[in-house]
Structure 1
Amino acid sequence: MTANPEILSTPSSQAARTTQSQALFARAQAVTPGGVNSPVRAFRSVGGTPRFIARANGAILTDADGNDYIDHIGSWGPMILGHNLPAVREAVIEALAGGTSFGAPGEREVLLGEAVTRITGVDRVRFVNSGTEATMSALRLARGFTGRKYILKFRGNYHGHADGLLVEAGSGLMTDAVADGGQLNRQGLGQAAPSSAGVPEEYAALTLVSEYNDPAALDALMTARGHEIAAVIFEPVVGNAGVLIPNPEFLDALHRVQAAGVLLIADEVMTGFRLSLRGATGLLGLRPDLTCWGKIIGGGLPVGAYGGRAEVMNFVSPQGPVYQAGTLSGNPLAMAAGLAMLGALEADPGVYERLNTYTAQLAEGLKAGASAAGVPISVNQIGSMLTAFHSSAPHGSIRTYTDAARSDTAAFAGWFQGMLARGIYWAPSQFESIFVSAAHTDAHLNATLEAAAQAYAALTVRGEQ
């Protein structure tokens, strides 16, 4: 995060070549639903052709047509030190020489388990292959440990695509609702409605819903039904309805659920090791019973994990009665990458302060650029996570799913296309966080803010026509 005189060659207009991306997208649509393997990548809510990425290095993505982009997604969070980090790449190459998968224990699983428990303070950890597997497994464990069947989640929090969690979920589901011209679900608190076809209402009925950042609503649900609830699962800092930052009263209410014998499950798939070495829970002083991780814990390779107190984790098979398994769990390549990533983060204790400073400068620059163009935005930023909502709400005042859902998604789509045309790869959804990495330089910051100001100005001009 230092000044860098070198800056990439980025597309300067919509005339940038996209022929290879267009051809690949057409081919992909013939063999893959929607042409993508994860929905938000399809650009449905922002229009245009998704860029097919050929390679990534540092803070730069290069697409199949050779166009370079300053990346503010970072593979949705894990690339906190930049793409293709040499330490991670070399660790994976070394592990690869010994084989890609064993289906049996290996030393790297032990080493990474020791690192995670030491850094985060959990007693036990179990590795899986994705954030979805981590949250799904943690909920099964909570039900097995408590003997209760209901789960409580918060509107706009996304915890993966397991059936019981696709209820009032944020992120891509909010994006798809807008793209389809539909209305976002506004069921009353405590009532659960599936956010996806294929999820039986009977299954969704086992998931109760409350409003994030509404301590009174959470207290009321706990008073009425706390004795039936196995766990409350939540994003400590929401990244899947745009960035939503918890207020102190809500954090206090979260801790009160434990008094009713309810387990508190922190979903740190986005925030773990990103907002601090101990994640958002460490930053905010939270004390969950179980924590779920993904992304950074594997250095960008497919991985996830869940962990917590020994008395709870000891219920997991083969030690306990709650079954969970996976042939690729503890994969040697993912373990090697995770060890390298966590080692690099521990070796640089100042990285989080630098990331926060850089992202705060980005936030202030976006505010200034939008204000100069007369475009209303509301920026939420914490650490290296940021969302610029196209909303007239004051900065920092968007605290709930309902607040976020009022954003002007059409304005965002126009601004997104303006950024993309100027070589800036932003999250293709209003309801996502962007992520800054330690590989971003002052030159990248200046280029991003210049592009943003131009895109805001162009948005104003289009609005006047």
Structure 2
Amino acid sequence: MQISESKRLFAHAKTFIPGGVNSPVRAFRAVGGEPIFIKKADGAYLFDEDGNSYIELINSWGPMILGHNHPMIREAVIQAMENGTSFGAPTAREVEMAELIVKMVPSVEKVRMVNSGTEATMSAIRVARGFTGRDKFIKMEGHYHGHGDSFLISAGSGAITMGNPDSPGVTVGTAKDTLLAPYNDLEAIERLVEANKGEIAALILEPVPGNMGLTLPLPGYLEGLREICTREGIVLIFDEVMTGFRLAKGGAQELFGVTPDMTTLGKIIGGGMPVGAYGGKKEIMQFVSPAGPVYQAGTLSGNPIAMAAGLAMLRYLDTHPEVYAQLALIGRKIAEGITKINHDQNLNYTVNFVGSMYSLFFTQQPVIDFESAKTSDTVLFGRYFQEMLKRGVYLAPSQFESLFLSTALTDELIGRILLAHEESIRVIHQ
């Protein structure tokens, strides 16, 4: 039997790349089998190296809000490349991008461009520490803020203990300044603050987490965090790398009406190109070099190709707010359709959704934090993933990743997704 091109490429890749992939989730270890190597993407589809096509619900982990290979963004990139790919010097597009972000995001008065979400979150924490003169910060269990050392921390023995390194190479010294709390638990935050009075520089969270599966803030939770941080002089940071410009023009902070002190961004502002940004109040951002003493730099920051793609995307979203109603309708049709199919088959699995993001958890209890997310049956999810793949629907290869929808999903494609779900859920429960 002839081996598939994806299998051949994966075997070859493992000779030169750790695990054969350049980001761990791509290896399919959480769902079984081997990864599919993608050749191209267009609209709502991915096409693999073997000529198979898939309706896909990841959209490069969020940025392809208008679908893949959108003509407007493609043309912007082509035009920008005619003038060169990198200058390592200021450009007009950087200024235009900064002005547009400040206009669209409620919390941002000044912004610094970087090259990834990880860079953005690392830099935001550094600036918050420099601004407050404090060392510690709070993060939430199950929230992912990139692979910076201080973020790869797991929970200790209780809400007020120090964190423990979650990866070899992360030192105990780094971990000691990271405090852990469960998401959606204001009392835990109050205990941490009381136990570390005057020592906490920042509190960072995904206002709508997407890295333990999609989980929503309980009523009053974000407002409660804002109140605590204001009272204690703690810099409140919303990591909106996933949700920024996706849930609303101004991100989750606009949707929920809670304004943080700083915001980290990525994904959509590059229109699919590598990019990130962090911004916030003027008095905080003035601490960033060369305006202030907190150092952060990057040769490719504000790269002209990434700026061109991002500007095309953001300008479209800024002038076409109806996109968000369209995305919300698509998300509702899929999430409610899946819920109805599950109910008809007496399966009370949890479906969380907001706007164009959703997760199907293979658990019957509500998912509101990392602990409840972990009650999901990951083996069953793996089987479900493979059955959906057989039917031409490409999901995130992990139970603990949100799905991201695009405007390229027509009613006909939504129908095919729901039919694939109905058939897949039936097979895995036979």
TM (norm. structure 1) is 0.90
**Alignment of 1:32 onto 2:1:** no
Q: Tell me if 1:133 matches 2:119.
A: yes
1:405 alignment partner in structure 2: 374
Q: How many residues are aligned here?
A: 427
Match of 1:262 among 216, 231, 234: 234
Matches within 5 A, 1:144-293: 144-168=130-154, 187-191=157-161, 192-255=163-226, 256-293=228-265
Q: 1:99 maps to which residue?
A: 84
Query: In structure 2, what is the equivalent of residue 446 of structure 1?
Result: 415
1:280 match: secondary structure: helix
**Cα shift readout 1:357-393 (whole Å, capped 9, x = no counterpart):** 1111101111122233344410000110000000011
Aligned residues of 1:426 and 1:434 also touching (Cα < 8 A): yes
Query: Is 1:391 the equivalent of 2:376?
Result: no
Give the whole-Å Cα distance in 1 for the aligned partners of 2:146 and 2:258: 22
Equivalent residue, structure 1, for 2:28: 43
Q: Distance in 1 between matches of 2:193 and 2:414?
A: 45
Alpha-carbon distance in 2 for matches of 1:384, 1:269: 15
Q: Secondary structure at the match of 2:363?
A: coil
Give the letter for the 1:380 counterpart.
Answer: N
Amino acid at match of 1:340: A
SS of match in other structure, 1:231: strand
Q: Give 3-state SS (helix, strand or coil) of 2:54's partner.
A: strand
The alpha-carbon deviation at position 18 of structure 1 amounts to: 7.1
Q: Aligned partner of 1:23: which letter?
A: R
Percent pairwise identity: 52
Amino acid at match of 2:259: R
Deviations 1:284-332 (A, max 9, x none): 1111111000000110100000000111000000110000000000000
Amino acid at match of 2:297: A
Q: Secondary structure at the match of 2:360?
A: strand
AA paired with 2:256? L
Hey, what does 2:105 align to over in structure 1?
Answer: 120
Alpha-carbon distance in structure 2 between the residues aligned to 1:416 and 1:376: 18
3-state SS of 1:61 partner: strand
Change (3 A) 1:37 1:438: same
* 1:290-305 equivalences in 2 (<5 Å): 290-305=262-277
1:365 paired with 2:337, answer yes
- Between 1:378-387 and 1:115-124, the stretch displaced more is 115-124
Report the CA distance between 1:186 and its aligned residue. 6.9
Equivalent residue in structure 2 for 1:111, among 96, 100, 122: 96
In the superposition, relative to structure 1, how do residues 24 and 380 fare at CA in structure 2: closer, same or farther (>3 Å)?
same
How many angstroms apart in 1 are the aligned matches of 2:156 and 2:347? 28
The runs of 5 or more residues in structure 1 that have no matched partner are: 1-14, 169-184
Whole-Å separation in 2 of the counterparts to 1:248 and 1:382: 14
Q: Paired residue for 1:458, among 403, 423, 427?
A: 427
> Partner letter of residue 382 of structure 1?
V
SS in 1 for 2:396: coil
Alpha-carbon distance in 2 for matches of 1:418, 1:334: 36
1:73 alignment partner AA? I
Counterpart position of 1:174: none
TM-score after normalising by structure 2: 0.97
Shift of 1:197: 1.4
Residues of 1 paired with 2:136 and 2:3: CA distance? Answer: 48
